[in-house]
Structure 1
Amino acid sequence: MRTAGLVTGLAALLVPALSACGGEAASAGAGSALKWTSSYFPTHWDPVVGGSGAQFRELSLVYASLTRTDEKGDAVPDLAKSWEYNEKGDRITFHLRSGLKFSDGEPVNGAAVKAAVERAKKQKNSALYGDLTSVESVDAKGLDAVVHLSQVDYQIPQLFGQRVLQIASPKAAKSPAKLDQNPVGAGPFTVTQVIPGTKAVLKKNPDYWDADNIHIDTVELTSAPDASTVISGLQTGVYNFADIEPSQASAAKKAGLDVFVQPGFNASNISLNINKKPFDNDKVVDAVRYAVDRQEFVDKLTFGYGEATDQPFPKGYVAYDPKSENAYPHNVAKAKKLLAEAGYPSGDLKLKLVIPAEDPQAEIVQSQLAKVGITVDIKIDKNWATPFFAKDLTFSLYSTTGRDSAAQTLTAHFGPNGPLNLSSPYEPDGFESAIAKVRETPLDSPEYATTLQAATRAGLESKALVFTYSQPNLIAKSKSISKLPANPAHIDWTGVTIGGAE
Structure 2
Amino acid sequence: MRRFTVALAALALTVSACAGNGSAASGDGTSTLRWATSYFPTHWDPVVSGSGAQFRELALVYASLTKTDENGNAVPDLAESWTYNDTGDQVTFHLRPKLTFSDGTPVNAAAVKAAIERAKTQKNSALFGDLTSIKSVTTSGDLDVVVQLTQTDYQIPLLFGERVLQVASPAADPTALDQKPVGAGPFVVTQLTPGTKVVLKKNPDYWDAANIHIENVELVSAPDAATVVSGLQTGVYNFADITPNNAEAAKAAGLDVFVQPGFNANNISINVNKAPFTNPKVVDAVRHAINRQEFVDKLGFGYGEATDQPFPKKYVAYDPQSADKYAYDPAKAKELLKGIPPIKLTLVIPSADPQAEIVQSQLAAVGITVDIKVDKNWATPFFAKDLTLSLYGTTGRDSAVQTLTAHFGPNGPLNLSSPYQPAGFEAAVAKVRQTPLEAADYASVLQAATRAGLESKALVFTYSSPNLLAKSKSVSALPANPGHIDWTGVKIG
Query: Do the aligned residues in 2 keep the contact of 1:51 with 1:166 (CA within 8 Å)?
Result: no
How many residues are aligned here? 468
List per-residue Cα deviations over 1:177-198 (Å, max 9, x = no partner). 2012210000000001111111
Code of the residue aligned with 2:409 in structure 1: it is G
* C-alpha distance in 1 between matches for 2:484 and 2:171: 27
**Shift of the alpha carbon at 1:261?**
1.1
How far apart in 2 are the matches of 1:378 and 1:457? 31
| Structure 1 residues 240-292: Cα deviation after superposition (integer angstroms, max 9, x where no partner) | 00001111111111110001210001100000011111111111111100000
* 1:400 corresponds to 2:397: no
Matches within 5 A, 1:468-479: 468-479=462-473
8 Å Cα contact 1:189/1:203 also seen in 2:
yes
1: CA distance, partners of 2:216 / 2:184: 16
Whole-angstrom distance in 2 between the partners of 1:28 and 1:285: 59
Pairing 1:148–2:148 present: yes
State the Cα distance separating 1:29 from its structure 2 match: 5.0
How much does 1:80 deviate? 0.3
Contact 1:257–1:476 (CA under 8 A) maintained in structure 2: yes
1:359-398 pair list within 5 angstroms: 359-398=353-392
Partner of 1:41: 40
- Give the 3-state SS of the residue equivalent to 1:259 in structure 2: strand
Q: Which amino acid in the other structure matches residue 155 of structure 1?
A: Q
User: Separation in 1 of the partners of 2:322 and 2:431?
Assistant: 19
Q: What's the counterpart of residue 457 of structure 2? A: 463
Per the TM alignment, residue 171 of structure 1 is displaced from its structure 2 partner at its CA by 1.1
| Equivalent position of 2:296 in the other structure | 298
Structure 1 distance, partners of 2:243, 2:130, is: 29
Separation in 2, partners of 1:169, 1:106: 7
Aligned-partner SS, 1:145: strand
Task: Deviation per CA, 1:441-476: give whole Å up to 9, x if none.
Answer: 001111000000000000000000000011320110
Tell me which amino acid in the other structure corresponds to 2:193. I
Which residue matches 2:430?
436
Change (3 A) 1:184 1:254: same
For residues 324-354 of structure 1, the C-alpha deviation after alignment (integer angstroms, 9 at most, x for no partner) is 011111111111111124x13xxx2111000
**SS of equivalent residue, structure 1 residue 194:** strand
Q: Which residue of 2 aligns with 1:162?
A: 162
Determine the C-alpha separation between the residues in 2 that align with 1:381 and 1:238. 35
Normalised by the size of structure 2, how large is the TM-score?
A: 0.94
- Report the Cα distance in structure 1 between the residues aligned to 2:98 and 2:63, rounded to whole angstroms: 15
Is this contact kept in 2: 1:287–1:336, CA < 8 A? yes
State how far apart, in whole Å, the 2-side matches of 1:177 and 1:394 are: 36
- One-letter code of the match for 2:407? H
Structure 1 counterpart of 2:330: 332
Corresponding position of 2:196: 198
Gaps spanning 5+ residues in structure 2: where?
1-24
SS in 1 for 2:178: helix
1:213 to 211, 236, 245: 211
Counterpart residue type for residue 108 of structure 1: V
Ranges of 4+ aligned residues in structure 1 off by more than 3 Å: 26-30
Question: Which of 467, 472, 487 is matched with 1:493 structurally?
Answer: 487
User: 2:278 maps to what in 1?
Assistant: 280
Task: Provide the rounded CA distance (Å) in 2 between the counterparts of 1:30 and 1:366.
Answer: 54
CA distance in 1, matches of 2:314, 2:465: 13
2: distance between equivalents of 1:426 and 1:180?
A: 36
- Give distance in 2, aligned partners of 1:204 and 1:28: 17
Q: Which runs of 5+ in 1 are unaligned?
A: 1-25
Q: Distance in 1 between matches of 2:403 and 2:151?
A: 18
Alignment of 1:132-147 (within 5 A): 132-141=131-140, 142-147=142-147
CA–CA distance in structure 2, aligned partners of residues 379 and 335 of structure 1 = 24
Once the 2 structures are TM-superposed, how far is the Cα of residue 27 of structure 1 from its aligned partner?
Answer: 4.9
Give, in angstroms, the shift of residue 78 of structure 1.
0.3
Hey, what's the Cα distance between the residues in 2 that align with 1:426 and 1:417?
Answer: 8
RMSD, matched Cα: 1.0
1:124 is displaced (CA, Å) by 1.1
Q: Is the 8 A contact 1:431 1:455 kept in 2?
A: yes
* Matched letter for residue 127 of structure 1: A
Match of 2:415 in 1: 421
In structure 2, what is the Cα distance between the partners aligned to 1:401 and 1:202?
A: 25
**Which SS does the other structure have where 1:396 is aligned?**
strand
1-side partners of 2:130 and 2:27: how far apart?
39
Q: Deviations over 1:265-320 (max 9, x none)?
A: 11000000111111111111111000000010111111222111111111111100
Q: Compute the displacement of 1:30 (Å).
A: 3.3
**Equivalent residue number for residue 122 of structure 2:** 123
Over 3 Å counting, the alpha-carbon distance change for 1:254 and 1:29 in structure 2 is farther
In structure 1, the residue matched to 2:3 is: none
Residue 414 of structure 1 deviates from its aligned partner by: 0.3
Give SS of 2:492's match. coil
SS of residue matched to 2:161: coil
- Residues 392-424 of structure 1: CA distance to partner in whole angstroms, max 9, x if unpaired? 111000000100000000000000000000000
Task: Kindly provide the amino acid, as one letter, of the partner of residue 325 in structure 1.
Answer: A
**In the TM superposition, what is the alpha-carbon distance from 1:28 to its structure 2 partner?**
5.4
TM-score normalised per structure 1: 0.92
